């Protein structure tokens, strides 16, 4: 049975993935992801997307916002841009409002930024009335609901099951099981970050994107089993279901690698190894130059 919206909101207040009703929350998220607005890659401003996404990540880092806030903000930005023609001078405003709405839904009240905090990020502040008007337009388009599950939401639950004590052995080159667990969480988060960089990930259900990040993290750790019966039960995906999304993540990964010879050699060794060990790379930028207001 799908959870009511009220119960779902209550679940978000705590670490729901560790509670007795975690499976009910996941069931609700899966039902909701099946109702997503189709993404059609038709935004006239899609060429600015990569800059706006990096800016959102930069904002979130500065304001110490959660991963789920980042993913929801980017989803709001993407789906709104895909269904509207946004004036260039309004792109930065839409980006800030997307962060603000996501934070209001995902963060505790004390962590939710104010309009003044958002305006402090740009050279020419927007009037509060413009923030409110953009918020109204965005929420109206989303039918006044911010319950839009992202890969980060599913990952919160999946990561609890990413490894088990059976995965720990002397071959892992980790001193303790806790070290292995920490590395697994790190790699999963890194692959989740890559999934934000290409709008093509909207073609996959968020639960599948999260499962793909889990699988890649296990491959990166060179665990003896790439996928387990336990993960099949938790995610409801076979490894073969995940492969197209995993391949897209790795394409994004390779595009983000340095071009120096040492990096190329590491990349060759990784891709030629049986288990495909994968490295990491992230980047952030300041506010994009999409208008005279930023």
Handedness of CA 231, 234, 236, 237 (dihedral sign): negative
Residue 142 lies in a domain: yes
The answer to whether residue 147 scores a pLDDT higher than 50 is yes
Domain range for residue 59? 44-148
CA distance 147 to 132: 20
Are 136 and 196 members of one domain?
no
Are 180 and 235 members of one domain?
yes
Are 179 and 222 members of one domain?
yes
Token pair of 143 as six digits: 């039918």
Query: How confident is the model over 42-81, as pLDDT tens digits?
Result: 999 999 999 999 999 999 999 999 999 999 999 999 999 9
Residue ending a domain, among 113, 148, 183, is 148
Query: How confident is the model over 20-43, as pLDDT tens digits?
Result: 677 888 888 999 999 999 999 999
For residue 275, what pLDDT is reported? Answer: 38
Query: How confident is the model over 260-291, as pLDDT tens digits?
Result: 555 555 545 444 433 333 233 333 335 555 55
- Residue of 25 and 239 predicted with greater confidence: 239
Q: How many residues does the chain have?
A: 294
Are 71 and 144 members of one domain?
yes
- What's the first-to-final CA gap in the chain, in angstroms? 46
């Amino acid at each position: 049975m799908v959870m009511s919206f009220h119960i779902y909101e209550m679940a978000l207040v705590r670490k729901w993935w560790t509670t007795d009703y975690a499976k009910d929350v996941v069931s609700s998220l899966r039902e909701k992801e099946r109702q997503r607005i189709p993404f059609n890659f038709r935004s006239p401003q899609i060429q600015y997307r990569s800059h706006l996404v990096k800016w959102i990540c930069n904002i979130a880092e500065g304001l110490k916002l959660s991963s789920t806030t980042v993913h929801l903000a980017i989803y709001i930005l993407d789906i709104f841009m895909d269904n509207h023609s946004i004036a260039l001078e309004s792109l930065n405003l839409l980006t800030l409002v997307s962060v603000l709405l996501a934070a209001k839904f995902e963060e505790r009240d004390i962590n939710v930024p104010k309009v003044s905090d958002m305006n402090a990020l740009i050279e020419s502040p927007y009037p509060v009335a413009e923030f409110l008007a953009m918020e109204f337009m965005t929420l109206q388009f989303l039918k006044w609901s911010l319950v839009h599950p992202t890969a980060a939401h599913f990952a919160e639950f999946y990561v609890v099951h990413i490894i088990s004590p059976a995965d720990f052995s002397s071959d892992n080159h980790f001193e303790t099981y806790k070290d292995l667990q920490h590395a697994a969480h790190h790699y999963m988060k890194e692959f989740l970050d890559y999934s934000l960089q290409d709008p093509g990930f909207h073609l996959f259900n968020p639960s599948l994107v999260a499962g793909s990040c889990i699988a890649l993290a296990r491959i990166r750790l060179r665990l003896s089993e790439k996928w387990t019966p336990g993960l099949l039960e938790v995610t409801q995906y076979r490894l073969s279901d995940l492969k197209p999304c995993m391949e897209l993540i790795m394409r994004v990964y390779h595009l983000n690698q340095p071009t120096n010879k040492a990096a190329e050699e590491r990349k060759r060794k990784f891709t030629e190894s049986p288990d495909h060990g994968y490295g990491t790379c992230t980047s952030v930028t300041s506010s994009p130059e999409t208008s005279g207001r930023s």
